[in-house]
Amino acid sequence: FQEIVPLNAGNVLVIEDNEPAARWLVLINQALNRPADNDTNVFQHPTSPSVDSTSSRASSSLDTSFSELTKTASGSTIFQKSSLKAIRKPFMPMQRKRLKACNCPAEMVKSSYRDACFRRPKKHADETDSSGEEEKENTRDSCGSVLSEVTSAPTARDQLKYNLIVCKQMVGIFVTVWVKKELVQHIGHLRTSCIGRGILGCLGNKGCISVSMTVHQTSFCFICSHLASGQKEGDEFRRNSDVLEIQRLTLFSRLCRRTGRRIPEKILEHDKVIWFGDLNYRIALSYEDTKRLLTENNWDALFEKDQLKIERDAGRVFKGWNEGKIYFAPTYKYSSNSDAYAGETATSNKKRRTPAWCDRILWRGDGTSQLSYYRGESRFSDHRPVCGTFIVEVEALNRKTRRRSSNADMKIGAEELLPTDKNKGKGNNNGIE
């Protein structure tokens, strides 16, 4: 999520507002863990939702769940600082700290046991699941709420199809990772990192949250970023700089070593990397020319002027990364609760924003196949949400031969969550790349 709270001085400099993040957690859980007999399409949205999410049809049940979960025994409401911590408890696995431990195979000889990677480092072994204290996950990680293990009724968690394994907020950026329950036991080396690139080049109104983890023997990194804004000529170079600095500064804590290979500490050291968010790259055309091509649905001509495409082709940013073919209209900037771009209603050229594909999903790593890449039509933001679905191959240990082998059948996908809405592919050539 981007701009989950207004990027004002209070949220940037004083204290983060966790309440919207807590509300989204409840809504995500309702979508992922809905009953099997509920045929509601989680990708469908009301045709005209209210700008105020607390009164819209899409969030009416969310408000009920949120109010119930944030009430203490005395009936008072939990403070905002605690609301996210309280909401996430029933969605998380029972053994939260195991996610941080090493899940590498025990392949070393006894003489190497002292340094064996499958032994949890002492500093993690001393942590307790019920500490309730916010952990410092690395020296650079100074943002937002961090997960801690909690106790919850096992019966409630047993009913979940998906578990929340991490959620992290940095001002307006909010990231959650949910995993099928049967895969949770294969997750390890879970770490997070936050890099601020906003005011003064360091505050969290811009920047990224990164999540590093292993699934079986394959390492993953997810980066959710909000890059520098602006549509003036040359602003794209500030966005390039943000990407390069994020790659340079992101450093995950060292947990262990495994035979012949270190667990990744930098973004590009991971086997699979997915980078997404409001990258803020614009279209290098005038508003009038952009509007004309939009009217003609001439996406190819528009995309030739896309700043991210131009910068990638020139090798200045995201060299070697992949992005699916774009068959959808620009995602920014829309008028509130409207299907009209904001430029159509702007009272002055100064307030006018040229439509652009600000919201993107890129990836790198062999064995990654994208199933779809399309935009949603929720109206509660001035952006349209973008969705990508992938199937990814991971390495799993063959217990009989004690060797790692690539198993194409070991897929991390969300086929059952793929939209069934017949209108989903409208205008995007079925959304398949």
3-state SS, residue 165: strand
Residues 319, 2: Cα–Cα separation, whole Å: 24
Q: Give Cα 224 distance to the centre of its chain.
A: 5
Query: What are the residues whose beta carbons fall under 8 Å from the beta carbon of 8, sequence distance 6 or more?
Result: none
Among all chains, which residue has been given the structure tokens 């031969």?
401
Query: Domain locations in the chain?
Result: 94-431
Query: For position 54, what pLDDT does the model report?
Result: 31
pLDDT digits 0-9 by tens, 351-407: 789 999 999 999 999 999 999 999 999 998 999 999 999 999 999 887 655 555 555
Strands (E), 127-260: 162-170, 173-180, 187-196, 207-215, 218-226, 257-258
User: What ranges in 250-322 are assigned the alpha helix state H?
Assistant: 287-295, 299-303, 307-313
What are the residues facing 221 on neighbouring strands? Answer: 212, 273
Strand-pair category, 403-411 with 386-398: antiparallel
Query: For position 109, what pLDDT does the model report?
Result: 33
Give, for all 433 residues of the chain, the pLDDT tens digit: 998 887 777 667 767 788 889 999 999 999 999 876 654 554 444 333 333 333 333 334 444 544 554 444 344 444 445 578 888 888 988 878 788 888 776 653 333 333 434 333 333 333 333 333 334 434 333 343 333 333 334 446 778 999 999 999 999 999 999 999 999 999 999 999 999 998 777 787 899 999 999 999 999 999 999 999 999 999 999 999 999 999 999 999 987 766 556 789 999 999 999 999 999 999 999 999 999 999 999 999 999 999 999 999 999 999 999 999 999 999 999 998 899 998 877 666 767 899 999 999 999 999 999 999 999 999 989 999 999 999 999 998 876 555 555 554 455 555 555 555 544 444 433 332 3
Query: For position 364, what pLDDT does the model report?
Result: 98
Query: For position 401, what pLDDT does the model report?
Result: 52
Phi, psi values for residue 166, rounded to 5°: -160, 145
Helix (H) or strand (E) segment spanning residue 65: helix 60-69
pTM of the model: 0.76
Pick the closest to residue 430 from 364, 349, 370 (CA basis): 370
Architecture of 94-431 per CATH? Answer: 4-Layer Sandwich (3.60)
- Count Cβ atoms within 10 A of the Cβ of residue 156 and give its class: 0-12 exposed, 13-18 middle, 19 or more buried: exposed
Query: For position 258, what pLDDT does the model report?
Result: 62
